[in-house]
Chains A and B, each alone.
Chain A
Amino acid sequence: MPDMRAPAPPSTIAATPVLAVSDLRTQFFTDSGVVRAVDGVSFTVGSGETLGIVGESGSGKSVTAQSLMRLLEEPARIVSGSILFQGRDVLAMSHAELRKLRGAGMAMVFQDPMTSLNPVLRIARQVVETMVAHGSFGEKEATERGVKLLGRMGITTPKRAINSYPHQFSGGMRQRVALAMGMSNEPALLIADEPTTALDVTIQAQILELLRELNRDFGTAIVLISHDLGVIAGLCSRVLVMYAGEIVEEGPAEAILSHPKHPYSWALVNAVPRLDREPVAGKKLTAIEGAPPDPLSVTRGCRFAPRCPFRIERCAEHPELLEIGIARKSRCWVTQAGVGLDTPAPAPSPLRDRAKPPQTLSREQRDQEIDPSPLLEVKGLVKHFALPKRGFLEPYRHVHAVDGVDLTVKRGETVGLVGESGCGKSTLARLILRIHRPDAGSILFEGNEIAQAAPAAIRPLRRRLQMVFQDPYASLNSRMTVAQILEEPLRFHGLATTSTECRERIAELLETVRLDPKSGARYPHEFSGGQRQRISIARALAVKPNFIVADEPISALDVNIQAQILNLLLGLQEELGLTYLFIAHDLSVVRHISDRVVVLYLGKVAEVAPAKDLFAAPLHPYTRYLISALPIPDASIERRRERLRLAGEPPSAVDPPSGCRFRTRCPLAERICAEIPPPLIEHGQGHFAACHFPGKF
């Protein structure tokens, strides 16, 4: 390996970069060895430029961001390289110099707004201290400026807000406060590390808009770190793609998203279902196999080669990041030789690999195959949760989590359930599975009324009614081996009685979810997130159910793993004739996998329609906003797109608005909306909407 790479060639964007990073290496000195989290990264950020860094978890993008301000703690160390901020070497700075830089010239906004504000200090103190610490303002001026900043960040009552505590705000509002803190000294560079990942799409759209404005109005350069290509596409002019601690591709956002020149970028771009494109027949997404390399042992050749569908012989050698076009660089022997990646990969997805009948059913054909008799019929389902009392003398208050929901799921179909956090989608799932007992309403599963049935009466039905949970780390018992996890339901439901039977069935299940049948003796922590989710699915399949409720099964996973799991779910549906209720907040995923989609808002159904009708012609204004808020990973579309921005935040489910729940944020709202709750009415073939002015928006 060369000791020092030639310094990065001057950026084509700006002659005097705000930030010039060259050959940065950050390593974690762990007990089990040295992890090269950032391994020779060089890039520049021009004044006022917006640079996106994209990659999956573990790619080194966040460590890069934190290295820029030297925020990492032991066992992480920056072992070599240089970081020049406005010409000054950050790595050579004393602690005092570094302190003067942080929060003044260079500021940072972090991912989780719920934890990044100090819970016991007033907002005022947290906003003001940044300004006071750098001596730019006195206490009093800083407070006045703080109020102005909060107002600028879109907080409606900044004077009151500044005297509040963080817990009085929602996640989106807290991220606005964090941005106010970051912008308070008008930094030349703002680093935003996944600033919208923890937020709902409509709030994400608001925050991204705000970032765009800050970049435009203050000329602040922004480094945006995200795993979401759509987010990057809407904000950044230039993109770095990171993989296994290295930059594998660099170039203008538009070019990379439309014509990626590294197979990893290619895989990222193609792994996500897109709202602006019809799903291909069979609905299979392009998923590359495997997982990122073990950070402890770096391969000698190209780090992506083991997963690469375009692999050639030369890939055993480590490629350099080289210019392959105007302002474009790629670390790939294939594209450096001038070969394009535009043809679909020859790589077989593991699903297609197996000898199975061709899966060429179109959506229409599948629609006809669906048995019209409903598997599940939910009517008027209600669940209110009592909040802990505020005090001994206070009355109970209730969260109206699910407030009169009707839902039908036919045999063999996939119903998608979407809505923002707090809309009641997870509660609805738990009610259907009778993890919670509903307060009112009926649940007919295969003709059995289970809404109020005793646990003993439901137990036999659980065989046919299974759930896959969101977090594959929390939903598997870490003290049980995979075999034990899978054996439990088999034994309990008497599906396998002898050990030999169990062993055979477990091997079969593991094979069904494309895991090594011999991995039963291992514990969950030995698997990656995607593999664990496969184990979760295997556990659900163990009892041969016909209905699976999947509660955000892919939202904790990287895009490529998401595509693998989605493909697996689709394949299993065809193989086993499963019926899915698929809960997600990601509309493009829901559209991709679902036959019909249900949109929930604050405990009520806003709209129900066949997937393509819903996205082609939404009737409820809320649905339109949701679709519009979702970023599309195509920079040219994303820039041209006419944006609808839903203002405000969902009201509290403790005290929901009268009449139509959406009326407080709806541009169409009239008196009738406050007085009469709109009923869910059929407006077209299977297209229902609960709105007094359907399609008028």
Chain B
Amino acid sequence: MPRYIASRLAVTAVMALLATLVIFLIANMVPGDPILAQLGDVAASNKAFVAEWRAKWGLDLPLWERYLVFLKGVLHGDLGISIASQRPVLEDIAQYAPATIELATVGFLLSLLIGVPLGMLAAIKRDSWVDHLARAVSLIGVSSPTFWLAFIMLALFYGGLQIAPGPGRLDPIAFSPPTVTGLFLIDSLLAGDVATFRDAATHLVLPSVVLAAATLGLITRTTRASMLDNLHQDYVRVARAKGLRERRIVNGHVLPNALIPIVTLGGLAYANLLTGAVMTETVFSWPGLGRYTFRSAEALDFPAIMGITLVVALTYLVINLVIDLSYALLDPRVAR
């Protein structure tokens, strides 16, 4: 087991290094000279001046040396200065990330806590009304476009029925809780501010449901298929022949096997939610990474784009590492 963990960690480190290389190369392959783009016509025609600027930004160095400089910066948490906001990229990301993490995590938990039991029930009571309901829920979830679902939800529950709050993380007149983690649900509880907690929670309902819809569908279907697969395995018949209770057979024998593919799917789905919430964040005016990404791309803010790309890559790597490690816990055949 320790060997397995060490080996997975080593793989992750190598992959992270490769990610920085790819990101660096893409940024440096983009046609156009950043120096000429920044200097005026007069300054650009002055060779000595251009050379001085090149030296100042380190652009006179060979590519591999520039990569090392970039890598050193990354390792020190220096992702450069955003052109649009004129602030360090890392600070920007740190400011926007908690909103996304909060939204994605709530959405993910929602799809997991509904999807897994629903899928299990659908498999156990195959072809019953539960199965049909699960099929309908997942079909709607998977096939509704996010922007459409988002607008419908807002129109129905906020505009029409007026039982849900509007866009944003909090009421426009409310104050954010004192920042500890940046996650409003946690910060408000730490501050003992129940009213803000309730406010933040109600604001989370619509966007997290919209975000969770597709994931919920996938998890339900995968859970159902995986359970069905395992319910017909020989070891289940053996467990029955031992005289075990049906509940124990499902929870003790089938579920540990059925969960294995769900861990992979769930992990990747969470990474997707963390990095792909642009649409939902835009409709719900959610001040998260998705909107930051969108704005940076619009403004061709290269340092910010590189920083976000790196963060996305690392998110996937870390989640993959977690998937691999939980595999080893769930399936003894993986780490021998």
Q: Which residues of chain A have a CB within 8 Å of any CB of chain B?
A: 69, 71, 98-104, 107-108, 110, 112, 115-122, 129-130, 133-134, 165, 167, 178, 181, 390-394
A99 closest partner in B (C-beta): B243
- Type the 1/0 row for B297-336, where 1 means its CB is closer than 8 Å to any CB of A: 0000000000000000000000000000000001111001
**Counting CB contacts under 8 A, is B151 at the interface?**
no
B4 closest partner in A (C-beta): A391
30 contacts between A and B (CB under 8 A): A71-B240, A71-B241, A98-B243, A99-B245, A102-B240, A102-B241, A103-B242, A104-B243, A107-B241, A108-B238, A110-B234, A112-B234, A116-B237, A118-B239, A118-B257, A119-B333, A120-B256, A120-B257, A120-B260, A120-B330, A120-B331, A120-B332, A121-B253, A133-B244, A134-B243, A167-B332, A181-B242, A391-B3, A392-B8, A392-B10
Q: Are the C-beta atoms of A130 and B243 separated by less than 8 Å?
A: yes
Q: Are the C-beta atoms of B242 and A102 separated by less than 8 Å?
A: yes
B6 closest partner in A (C-beta): A393
Count of B interface residues, CB-CB < 8 Å:
30
Once the chains are docked, how many angstroms separate the CA of A391 from the CA of B237? 34
**Counting CB contacts under 8 A, is B7 at the interface?**
yes
Once the chains are docked, how many angstroms separate the CA of A98 from the CA of B243? 8
A112 closest partner in B (C-beta): B234
* Interfacial chain A residues near B233, Cβ < 8 Å: 115
Once the chains are docked, how many angstroms separate the CA of A117 from the CA of B242? 12
Output the least CB separation between A486 and chain B (Å).
36
* Interfacial chain A residues near B4, Cβ < 8 Å: 390-391
**Counting CB contacts under 8 A, is B77 at the interface?**
no
Q: Which residues of chain B have a CB within 8 Å of any CB of chain A?
A: 3-4, 6-8, 10-11, 233-235, 237-245, 248, 252-253, 256-257, 260, 330-333, 336
* Interfacial chain A residues near B330, Cβ < 8 Å: 120
* Interfacial chain B residues near A107, Cβ < 8 Å: 241-242
Q: Are the C-beta atoms of A391 and B243 separated by less than 8 Å?
A: no
* Interfacial chain A residues near B235, Cβ < 8 Å: 115-119
Main secondary structure of the interface of A (DSSP, over half): loop
Output the least CB separation between B255 and chain A (Å).
10
Once the chains are docked, how many angstroms separate the CA of A181 from the CA of B336? 25
Q: Are the C-beta atoms of A165 and B332 separated by less than 8 Å?
A: yes
Q: Are the C-beta atoms of A129 and B234 separated by less than 8 Å?
A: no
Once the chains are docked, how many angstroms separate the CA of A130 from the CA of B252? 13
* Interfacial chain B residues near A116, Cβ < 8 Å: 234-235, 237-238
Q: Are the C-beta atoms of B7 and A394 separated by less than 8 Å?
A: yes
Output the least CB separation between B263 and chain A (Å).
12
- Most chain A beta-carbon contacts within 10 A, residue among B242, B256, B330: B242
Partner of B243, one of A102, A112, A120, A394: A102
Q: Are the C-beta atoms of A110 and B237 separated by less than 8 Å?
A: yes
* Interfacial chain B residues near A69, Cβ < 8 Å: 241
Output the least CB separation between A304 and chain B (Å).
31
Output the least CB separation between A139 and chain B (Å).
14
* Interfacial chain A residues near B240, Cβ < 8 Å: 71, 102
* Interfacial chain A residues near B256, Cβ < 8 Å: 118, 120-121
B331 closest partner in A (C-beta): A120
Once the chains are docked, how many angstroms separate the CA of A393 from the CA of B332? 19
Output the least CB separation between B278 and chain A (Å).
34
Output the least CB separation between B242 and chain A (Å).
4
B333 closest partner in A (C-beta): A167
* Interfacial chain A residues near B336, Cβ < 8 Å: 390
* Interfacial chain A residues near B10, Cβ < 8 Å: 392-393
* Interfacial chain A residues near B332, Cβ < 8 Å: 119-120, 122, 165, 167
* Interfacial chain B residues near A108, Cβ < 8 Å: 238, 241
* Interfacial chain B residues near A102, Cβ < 8 Å: 240-243
Q: Are the C-beta atoms of A394 and B3 separated by less than 8 Å?
A: yes
* Interfacial chain A residues near B237, Cβ < 8 Å: 71, 110, 116
B233 closest partner in A (C-beta): A115
Kindly list 5 other residue pairs between chains A and B, CB separation below 8 angstroms, not including A99-B244, A121-B253, A390-B3: A71-B241, A103-B244, A133-B244, A390-B4, A392-B10
* Interfacial chain A residues near B242, Cβ < 8 Å: 102-103, 107, 129-130, 133, 181
- Most chain B beta-carbon contacts within 10 A, residue among A118, A165, A393: A118
Once the chains are docked, how many angstroms separate the CA of A102 from the CA of B237? 11
* Interfacial chain B residues near A133, Cβ < 8 Å: 242-245, 248
Output the least CB separation between A669 and chain B (Å).
30
B329 closest partner in A (C-beta): A120
Output the least CB separation between B333 and chain A (Å).
5
Once the chains are docked, how many angstroms separate the CA of A394 from the CA of B335? 12
Output the least CB separation between A458 and chain B (Å).
37
Once the chains are docked, how many angstroms separate the CA of A613 from the CA of B242? 49
A132 closest partner in B (C-beta): B244
A391 closest partner in B (C-beta): B7
Output the least CB separation between B307 and chain A (Å).
28
Once the chains are docked, how many angstroms separate the CA of A110 from the CA of B237? 9
B237 closest partner in A (C-beta): A71
Once the chains are docked, how many angstroms separate the CA of A81 from the CA of B214? 51
Closest 8 CB pairs of A and B: A391-B7, A102-B243, A103-B243, A103-B242, A115-B234, A165-B332, A118-B235, A392-B7
Output the least CB separation between A587 and chain B (Å).
29
B3 closest partner in A (C-beta): A391
Q: Are the C-beta atoms of A100 and B333 separated by less than 8 Å?
A: no
* Interfacial chain A residues near B7, Cβ < 8 Å: 390-394
Once the chains are docked, how many angstroms separate the CA of A129 from the CA of B243? 10
B9 closest partner in A (C-beta): A392
Output the least CB separation between B10 and chain A (Å).
5
* Interfacial chain A residues near B245, Cβ < 8 Å: 99, 133
Output the least CB separation between B260 and chain A (Å).
8
Once the chains are docked, how many angstroms separate the CA of A479 from the CA of B7? 43
Q: Are the C-beta atoms of B239 and A101 separated by less than 8 Å?
A: no
Once the chains are docked, how many angstroms separate the CA of A99 from the CA of B239? 11
* Interfacial chain B residues near A117, Cβ < 8 Å: 235, 238
* Interfacial chain B residues near A167, Cβ < 8 Å: 332-333
* Interfacial chain A residues near B238, Cβ < 8 Å: 108, 110, 116-118, 178, 181
Once the chains are docked, how many angstroms separate the CA of A115 from the CA of B244? 18
* Interfacial chain A residues near B260, Cβ < 8 Å: 120
A102 closest partner in B (C-beta): B243
Once the chains are docked, how many angstroms separate the CA of A624 from the CA of B237? 38
* Interfacial chain B residues near A130, Cβ < 8 Å: 242-244
Output the least CB separation between B53 and chain A (Å).
44
Once the chains are docked, how many angstroms separate the CA of A688 from the CA of B242? 50
A122 closest partner in B (C-beta): B332
Once the chains are docked, how many angstroms separate the CA of A199 from the CA of B239? 22
* Interfacial chain B residues near A110, Cβ < 8 Å: 234, 237-238, 241
Once the chains are docked, how many angstroms separate the CA of A390 from the CA of B241? 35
